[in-house]
Structure 1
Amino acid sequence: MQLRIYFNPAELSFVEPSVDDVYIVIDVMRATTTMTVMFEQGARQVLAAQTLEQALEAGRKVPGRILCGERHTETPAGFDYGNSPAQFAGMDLSNRELVLTTSNGTRALFACPEKSVRLAGCFYNGVAAVSQALEMAQERQCDIAIICAAEYGYFALEDAACAGYLAQELLHQYPDINIHDSVHGAITIYENYPPAMLLEKAQSSRDLLAIGQQKDLEYCLARNQSTCVPMVTGVEHETGLLQLAYPASQLVEI
């Protein structure tokens, strides 16, 4: 079993990623953290859209869905909510369906091979995400890849640091895994830029602070607060949106 890290989803276009592998997609600030909180609050399903148009169309087709989205940290016109984990943490989402499109995170889910296993990982659910990925990779006898959503196509410090954290946790659980050079790089980044440092240094963090989203950062930079690991379970035929769920079988002890 091998572990490899991609610091930008675009890197997948230069290789032949295997549909059989397990992918952990990271968008620390904020998409994968937000998804985790949504399921914590009882959401039945989250549907990830690549574009604003896809999301709006999906909301029109199925009345009652909560339309959530973000572009450049702002909530787009016509959407019910943005991409704030702190906001969703205060909501009762029991049995609700939410449509989510974000600047980077939801697009990274689409960058992975179609029909592959895709898990949403972040600091907030770190150990649980790694445990789930390892269990599934051992069952499937396949490799694990960590995909950083990046920031509008550019390297994102917080995603790279989180990738290093997840890699470190995976090595603790399974020391015999073969690691690619990218793993050494990510772990080094995490060791030099832990969450407390990211609060000050990461551009995404500074952007959120500038618009008064300190509470979001408290969720995004908190480690191992959740056992929830959102997973892509299919594609909605009518809309082309990725369906994410949190089956009870994914519960992991931290």
Structure 2
Amino acid sequence: MQIETWLSPYAVADHERSHARVCVVIDVLRATTVIATAIAAGARSVTTCSDIEQAFEMKRSASSDSLPLLCGERECRPIDGFDYGNSPGEYSPAGVGQRDIVMTTTNGTRAIDAASDCDVMMLACFANLSSVADAIIDEVSDVSVQDASSGSGAPPKASGLVRIVCAGTNGAITGEDTLLAGALIAVCHRKLSDTARFYDGPIELKNDSGAIALAAWQHCITHDKVSDSESLAQRLAMTDGGRNMIAAGYEQDLVDCGSIDVFDTVPQRDRLSPARFVSR
């Protein structure tokens, strides 16, 4: 498996971007956590957009019997006229079950747009970490089988590339997204390999950003003693994103966003523009 990691959606110039088989977008605090939570709570779909007015227009153009919920934030705060903000705790089955959602956020939905050139797009958070790793492996395994069946005997082609894209904050790299990128790489390795030595395993890191993310996650486990959701939430509080959450009064969100493997649902794109996500 080949994995390329972008620690920011803007880490690679537009003219240097190649097509990816699978792209996994990460915005731990909080867009991808919220979308995964909403779909796990029974939302039919989540459509993302970068602009607030576009979200309002999508609601105005919807039929009266299927009006979407408007959800999201700007600079951590709920948007006037929207139904929900960007806290995972807001998204209950009673509130979003069997509803379509339109979402716009400061960083996460923009990262989705920036990473659009791929066959399969998934959204990852700590809450669905293992399920996303399983989904990645399934997709890349499909490509490997197709290549083998062609009779060429060649290794998987570039179309099997997995790209991890971290949303960051306003173009800057953030610790929480980097940690999840590293955790995702580590879990994929654990599921694919019988050796603890990463560089003896089946994953090829295509750039140093992946190695940086993996090292950050390993340091988080060994040095910061992160071993469960509670200790992870404490670690997230030490990141730029976590400090922003606390300053804005959303410290409880760190507990929800630090919950590990509580969902088996993986939001997957089923429409390119505007991007729409449903349960895989």
Q: Which residue of 1 aligns with 2:151?
A: none
Find runs of 4+ consecutive structure 1 residues off by over 6 angstroms. Answer: none
Judge conservation of contact 1:67–1:100 (CA < 8 Å) in 2: yes
Q: Deviations over 1:111-168 (max 9, x none)?
A: 1134531100011110101110111122124021110001011011100011011111
Distance 1:90 1:198, change over 3 A: farther
CA distance in 1, matches of 2:106, 2:235: 20
Code of the residue aligned with 1:199 in structure 2: it is: L
Residue in structure 1 matched with residue 45 of structure 2 by the alignment:
45
C-alpha separation in 1, matches of 2:236 and 2:203 = 31
Unpaired segments of 5 or more residues in structure 1?
Answer: 248-254
1:242 aligns with 2:242: no
Give distance in 1, aligned partners of 2:241 and 2:82. Answer: 22
- Check if 1:211 corresponds to 2:248: yes
What is the aligned length?
243
Residue identity matched to 2:185: A
Cα distance, 1:196 vs structure 2: 4.3
Q: Does structure 1 retain, via aligned residues, the 8 Å contact 2:25–2:123?
A: yes
2:163 is aligned to 145
Give TM-score scaled by structure 2 length: 0.81
- The code of the aligned residue for 2:61 comes to K
Identity of aligned residues (%): 30
- Once the two structures are superposed, the pairs formed by residues 56-205 of structure 1 within 5 Å of their partners are 56-62=56-62, 63=64, 64-89=67-92, 91-114=94-117, 116-141=119-144, 142-174=160-192, 175-180=201-206, 181-193=208-220, 194=226, 195-205=232-242
Query: One-letter code of the match for 2:56?
Result: L
Q: For the structure 1 residues 207 and 107, does the alpha-carbon distance in structure 2 shift closer, same or farther, using more than 3 Å as the test?
A: same
- Highest CA radius of gyration, 1 or 2? 2
Tell me how far apart the structure 2 counterparts of residues 207 and 113 of structure 1 sit (CA, whole Å). Answer: 27
What is the CA–CA distance in structure 2 between the aligned matches of 1:71 and 1:128, rounded to whole Å? 29
Partner of 1:252: none
| Pair 1:144–1:114, CA change in 2 (3 A) | closer
Q: Aligned partners of 1:203 and 1:102: how far apart in 2? A: 17
Cα deviation, residue 106, structure 1? 0.8
Cα deviation for residue 28 of structure 1 reads 0.1
Does structure 1 conserve the Cα–Cα contact (< 8 Å) formed by 2:22 and 2:120?
yes
**What secondary structure, in the 3-state scheme, does the structure 2 residue paired with 1:209 have?**
helix
2:256, 2:233 → 1: CA distance? 12
CA RMSD in angstroms comes to 1.8
Segment drifting more, 181-190 vs 122-131 = 181-190
Shift of 1:11: 2.0
Q: Is the 8 A contact 1:17 1:113 kept in 2?
A: no
Q: What SS is found at the alignment partner of 1:79? A: coil
Is contact 2:87-2:253 (8 Å) kept? yes
- The verdict on how the C-alpha distance between 1:139 and 1:16 changes in structure 2, with shifts beyond 3 A counting, is farther
Distance 1:123 1:10 in 2: 23
